[in-house]
Amino acid sequence: MLKRFWQRRGVATLILLAVGSLVGAGVYAQVSYQSDVEQYLPQALPEAAQDQFELLLFVSDENGYLYSGDSASGGSVGYVTITEAQGYGGAMTVVIGWSPEATILTLDVPEHYEDMIPWFQRLYDLEFFDQYIGRKYSEPLQLTTDIDTVTRSTVSVVGVNTGVQRGRALVAEQLGDPYPMPEEPIQFGAIEMLLFVGLGSVVALRLVPGLRKFHWARYLTLTFGLVVLGFWFVIPLSLIHFAIWAVGFAPAWQSHLFLYILIFGVVGLAVLLAKNFYCFWLCPFSAIQEVMHILGGGRVTPSPKWQRRLRNIPYFLLWLALFLALLLRNASVASFEPWQALFSLSGTIDQWLLVGVTLVTAMIVKDFWCWYLCPIRAVLDTILKIRRRIKAEWLQKVSPRLKKAA
């Protein structure tokens, strides 16, 4: 009986359980999350007496707080601002202690999701935070001109700076000398243009009848992906890019336009044109694997039965990573793909081990990671399957009417 149920409803039950557990994890995390910002006040302004902090201002849409701190005798010793900004893996909390004249005394980021070891640690190692100490609220505090950025940690750096600017806006308003947040400039440069070129080329090569015969052209787009998305800008499509939306921390589109083009371009094209234009065409890791396979020349493939079984593993890894990200409200824990270490040329020992094993295996098994492990292919295949299902059901509904009309 169990066997018959499994044969008939096994897949549907698994899908239902997977979706249910993801929704459950997301709801639980949102309901149980509590942020006690007041715990950070004494450390931000140590001169103030323990119970002498007073909330002066709260901006709900930015989760921004401004506290004043007094000494035990009652005299003002400064302010504390607590603001939120967008980092790589989610929102970060930026806590600043200000003097009564609004000079920065302390700066810390006690809550963040920048767990991509070692990228956030670099900010401490390279004394990024120290650059703000002693700066007055009236200084521009612009990145690259006033504050040096940190290579490989750009998104975290932008997040911290945005948090500082938001804190400055609160203090400046309190002092009666408003310093509004500067308009976020829309960043449209080389990478955004190259993304359009890359996606457009793949669409043309796969859909324009005259171009489809040029099979070698796939190697051109793969090389493009390897150079541009891989080693140049280090932005291969990653599960973390999907997880940040699932967790509810969409990055600002003005400063992350490339991310919007990449994700909505790949997903939108799959929905519109029913094809995966990323895997095997633009993915830089796919390109590396193909190179390794040419070098290795192995032809190991499992039997069709095992091929079918093993190709379900990416769905398990996708579910596990998303479940953890939703449960912990932390998109960066979803990242486990080998390309983070490979293209950023920086990673922990387990990341490099994954790179090594995957690339060596790719020498004997063609597109090893893509077929048997890649969560990105699982995401895109799921989108395509849902699309096919919706289309089939729609056609089933519409076709009797069409027949009738005919």
16 binds other proteins (CB under 8 A): no
* Distance of alpha carbon 266 from the chain centroid: 15
Which residue type, as a one-letter code, is found at position 194?
Answer: L
The answer to whether residues 30 and 329 touch, using CB atoms and an 8 Å cutoff, is: yes
Nearer to other proteins, 21 or 63 (CB): 21
User: Residue 216, Cβ neighbours under 10 Å: how many?
Assistant: 7
Minimum distance, C-beta of residue 2 to other proteins, in the bound complex (Å): 23
Q: Distance (Å, rounded) from C-alpha 319 to C-alpha 375?
A: 9
Our finding on whether 348 is near other proteins (CB under 8 A) is yes
Q: Does the CA dihedral 326-327-331-336 come out positive or negative?
A: negative
Q: How far is the CB of 336 from other proteins (least distance, A)?
A: 4
297 binds other proteins, rule: CB under 8 A: no
- 260 DSSP β-pair partners: none
Q: Does residue 332 touch other proteins according to CB under 8 A?
A: yes
- CA–CA gap between residue 133 and residue 149 (Å, rounded): 15
Give min distance, CB of 358 to other proteins, in A: 6
Distance CA 361, CA 292 (A): 9
Least Å from the CB of residue 192 to other proteins: 13
Return the residues of window 106-145 that contact other proteins according to CB under 8 A.
115, 117-118
What residue type is 146 in one-letter code? D
- The stretch near other proteins (CB under 8 A) out of 102-110, 168-176, 265-273, 296-304 is 296-304
Which amino acid is residue 13, in one-letter code?
A: T
- The window from 32-40, 71-79, 156-164, 298-306 that contacts other proteins (CB under 8 A) reads 298-306
Q: How far apart are CA 225 and CA 232, in angstroms?
A: 10
- Burial of residue 283 (CB within 10 Å: 0-12, 13-18, 19+) is buried
Is residue 152 a contact point for other proteins (CB under 8 A)?
A: yes
Q: Binding other proteins by CB under 8 A: which of 73, 151, 176, 401?
A: 151
- Cα–Cα distance for residue pair 390/335, rounded to 1 Å: 30
Residue 157 as a binder of other proteins (CB under 8 A): the answer is no
Rounded-to-integer distance, Cα 185 and Cα 254, Å: 6
21 binds other proteins (CB under 8 A): no
In the block, tokens 């280090």 appear at 234
Tokens of 91: 């929102």
In the complex, minimum distance from the CB of residue 114 to other proteins, in angstroms, rounded to a whole number: 12
Q: Which of 19, 181, 190, 392 binds other proteins (CB under 8 A)?
A: 190
Minimum CB separation of residue 227 from other proteins in Å reads 8
The nearest distance, CB 342 to other proteins, in angstroms, is 10
Return the residue of 19, 350, 388, 394 that touches other proteins, per CB under 8 A: 350
Distance from the first to the final alpha carbon of the chain: 45
- Residues 209-238 binding other proteins (CB under 8 A) are 231-233
Between CA 402 and CA 406 the distance in angstroms is: 6
Note whether 304 binds other proteins by CB under 8 A: yes
Determine if 361 is a binding residue for other proteins (CB under 8 A).
Answer: yes
- Residues lying near other proteins in the complex (CB under 8 A) are found at 115, 117-118, 151-152, 190, 231-233, 300-306, 310, 313, 317, 320-321, 324, 328, 332-336, 344-354, 357-358, 361, 364-365, 368-369, 372-373
